[in-house]
Amino acid sequence: MSESANPRLGALVKLAVTIVVAGALVAAMLLPWVGGPGLVARNSTSLLDALPVELTDETPNGNTRVPAADGSLITEFYTNNRTPVTPDQVSDVMKQALVDIEDSRFYQHNGLDVEGTMRALVKNLAAGEVEEGGSTLTQQLVKQTLLQTADTPEEREAADDKTVGRKLREVRLALALEETYSKDEILTRYLNIAYFGAGAYGIQAAAQTYFSVNAVDLTLPQASVLAGLVQSPGNTDPISHPEAAANRRNQVLARMHELGHITDQELADISASPIPIAEGGKAPNGCAQAVVGGFFCDYLQSYLINELDFTQTQLDNGGYTIQTTLRPDMQAAGDQAVLKTLGMGDPLAGIYTAVEPGTGKVLAMSVNRQFGCDAANPACESVNLNVAASQGSGSTYKVFTAASALEQGYGVNYRITTSDPYYSRVYKQMGGTTGKAYGPIGNVGTLPRTLTMHDALARSSNTYFVAMEDQLGSVRGPVEMAQRMGLNLPEERARVTIEGEQGSFTLGAIETSPLYLASAYSTLAASGTQCDPVPVVQILNRAGEPLTGEDGQPLVKGDNCNPDAVPAGVANTLSQVLTADVKSNIGTGTRANVPGHQIAGKTGTSQDRNSAAFVGFLPEYAASVMVLNPKGNQDVGSYGGGKPAQIWHDAMEPILNQGPTREFPAADPAVAAGTKGTGAVVRRESNDSTSSSSRGGGSTSTPTTPAAPTTEVTPPADVPAAGGDAVAPPTTEGTTN
């Protein structure tokens, strides 16, 4: 058989099916479930009982929209790009054009147009091919709904097979729909579900895709193009097939003219004109296409699935509005700040993460990477570095030890005199309670050997805080304080650290999530109120109402805060102390200072400078910056007071300078004074496991006369003023700072 005969055979097969179906439909007129004028169903209730839920919804759900805190779009999630509209959101000329070309007797029939079917049959037989379909718009609505909501290949095949049984079922459902909904509602639902090519489902998406307008603003030249598309969108797409699209448009115009709905002049003028294409682009889909905040979007998506039990199918097809916490101005400032220090795709990643104290709202997530693009591009990243824990954050953990010490009665002026290097009196190199002492612990540069807690935090003394851990007698207090503040260490890791008495905890050896590091410090900023980080304020359904859970309450409850996590006196006192790290002449984080604002913070650098960190906070904001190579260990060439503090400054300066910021509450006098006396001398220069060991506040080991402060040396260029914010020599426990 020749190739030219194949289309002819296909047309004859379609004709045969049409004849059989038409005969069946005529016979169906005599069946007991249909009767009376216009083939009205006698028992519409029984028909409606058979309607799939997809057909009883008023409109398709459409895309899930994800706006930022200011209402601007972050992205959308969808399987089919669709934005449902209401009847009054579609222009009248669009409705008229579609009815004229697809179902001119739409307003006369009740879902089954026998007259139209027979007319189409006669026309097709005369032409020897299928030139006109017999399905009504209501029948087409049934078919397209079942096709687009099919969950399995079998369901899709059943919705599209060429059997008489399928056609009869389609008719039954069309009759039921006509008994249930108004003509305008049926027409609008069809316009919302029809595929218009170029990935555009529904009239609103089509209007935006081809003409950059809303469906309500479509004109006759535009509407005639879109009405012609639904018959064969792949072949008459005006972007890919402009000539075929123009021919089809002219068929629509001719039909509208034949029915008296446009004038001779309109027909002549528009038919002779090119199609007025004005491509509007496709709506972004998913986090890789996010307009802003790709890493935030990924965190949001994971939160919805893991914390709120969404499925990806729900997200893609639910038509929700997910109101998020992202502040575009903070995101933009963070993006610019990171790129100012580290270029896009630099082996070192600069990771900036901001949260709001007292609410847990995640405000920004910036990285010098693009989320989710081609993995072969070094500027691309599919792992959420803002959330992932890949490196330690060094001396930022000293704050947890300080908070625990304050709670246990060690005041801010509690002095400890240590040797440098220093070996722990309590903790062992292998953890546990036996073996060689943990150490040696050293500082960056030369620090005074006698320091108060206040100055030890500002200078980031390693020896002081390991000695303070010795005073506490166990790492349990610092670890549990970190968890109470919201560091969110894995439970097993926290248990092993406590039970193994791992003295390196205070020096930040544990892999740390930038998000939870910022969240933990936000607890201090909120006077001890700990809030789990959240990316979403509310989730609205298609009707604009809060989405509810099984208990009937809004799914997003806003119950993520614990106001009693840390005593307010401890949090406020420590916040006041940590301002010295940013503003005093001995602080290691002075590069983060923004004049005119009271900022508290802490620097941190891990072993071998494989990462560097800075966490800064005010009552309104808390933000962490970590610099590291996410692919492996690399000297980042900076301590926490260098690149991280600079990024923090550059990200926060434009935000803070938008207006005044609050100062921290005053320190609690009782907490600041403490109950443990003035201090202790704990010099120890040996790791001999037989040396005396003491556990408890204020005790001493190997007492000596306190040494006078030694002369300070000039620290590395990126550590302002002074600092112990660096690594100690490695031990088998993995000492870091």
User: pLDDT of 325-368, one tens digit each?
Assistant: 999 999 999 999 999 999 999 999 999 999 999 999 999 999 99
CA distance 555 to 537: 10
Instruction: Return d(Cα 3, Cα 42) in angstroms, integer.
Output: 49
The CATH class that applies to domain 1-60+95-192 reads: mainly alpha
31-40, 380-389, 524-533, 619-628: segment of lowest average pLDDT: 31-40
Does 290 have pLDDT greater than 80?
yes
Does pLDDT of 121 surpass 90? no
pLDDT value at residue 17:
53
Residues 657, 92: Cα–Cα separation, whole Å = 50
Q: Is the dihedral of CA 576, 580, 582, 587 positive or negative?
A: negative
R_g of the chain, CA atoms, integer Å: 35
Residue identified by tokens 């260990």 is 633
Note the pLDDT tens digit of each residue in 194-238: 999 999 999 999 999 999 999 999 999 999 999 999 999 999 999
**What's the average model confidence in pLDDT over 515-523?**
98
CA-to-CA dists, residue 664 to 395, 462, 527, 655, 661, angstroms: 22, 27, 9, 18, 10
Q: How far apart are CA 176 and CA 44, in angstroms?
A: 6
For residue 722, what pLDDT is reported? 35
Would you say residue 697 has pLDDT above 50?
no
Residues with Cβ within 8 Å of 543's Cβ and at least 6 positions away in sequence, in order, are none
CA distance 726 to 722: 11
Between 255 and 27, name the one with better pLDDT.
255
Beta-carbon contacts of residue 249 (< 8 Å; ≥ 6 apart): 224, 225, 228, 270, 271, 275
Q: At 343, which amino acid appears?
A: G
pLDDT at 360: 98
Print burial letters for 339-360: b (CB count within 10 Å at least 16), e (below 16).
bebbeeebebbbbbbbbbbbbb
Specify the 3-state DSSP secondary structure of 44: helix
Q: Where are the domains of the chain?
A: 1-60+95-192
- Cβ atoms of residues 239 and 277 within 8 Å: yes
CA distance 15 to 11: 6
For residue 393, what pLDDT is reported?
97
Name the H helices within 259-397: 264-271, 294-306, 312-317, 328-341
Specify whether the CB–CB gap between 110 and 34 falls below 8 A: no
Is pLDDT above 50 for 585? yes
Q: Which residue has the tokens 């489902």?
A: 201
Question: What are the pLDDT digits (tens) for 41-88?
Answer: 334 444 445 566 556 665 678 999 999 999 999 999 999 999 999 999
DSSP string of 106-172, one letter each residue: TTTSSS--HHHHHHHHHHHHHHTS--S----HHHHHHHHHHHHT--SHHHHHHHH---HHHHHHHHH
pLDDT, tens digit, 9 for 90 and up, residues 472-510: 999 999 999 999 999 999 999 999 999 999 999 999 999
Token pair recorded at residue 172: 């039954």
Residues 407 and 202: their CA atoms lie apart, in Å, by 61
Q: How much of the chain exceeds pLDDT 70, in percent?
A: 82
Query: Pairing state of beta strands 380-381 and 370-371?
Result: parallel
- Between the CA of residue 145 and those of 94, 151, 191, 205, what are the distances in Å? 21, 12, 12, 17
∠ CA 710-393-437 to the nearest 5 degrees? 60
Largest CA distance in the chain: 115
Query: Dihedral of CA 260/263/267/273: which sign?
Result: negative
Give the separation between CA 521 and CA 617, rounded to whole angstroms: 7
DSSP 56-112: HSSS---PEEEE-TTS-EEEEE-SSB-----GGGS-HHHHHHHHHHH-TTTTTSSS-
Instruction: Give the closest residue to 296 by CA, choosing from 323, 324, 321.
Output: 324
Query: How many beta carbons lie within 10 A of that of residue 274, not counting itself?
Result: 9
422: Cα separation from own chain's centroid: 45
Give yes or no for a contact between 292 and 68, defined as CB atoms under 8 angstroms apart: yes
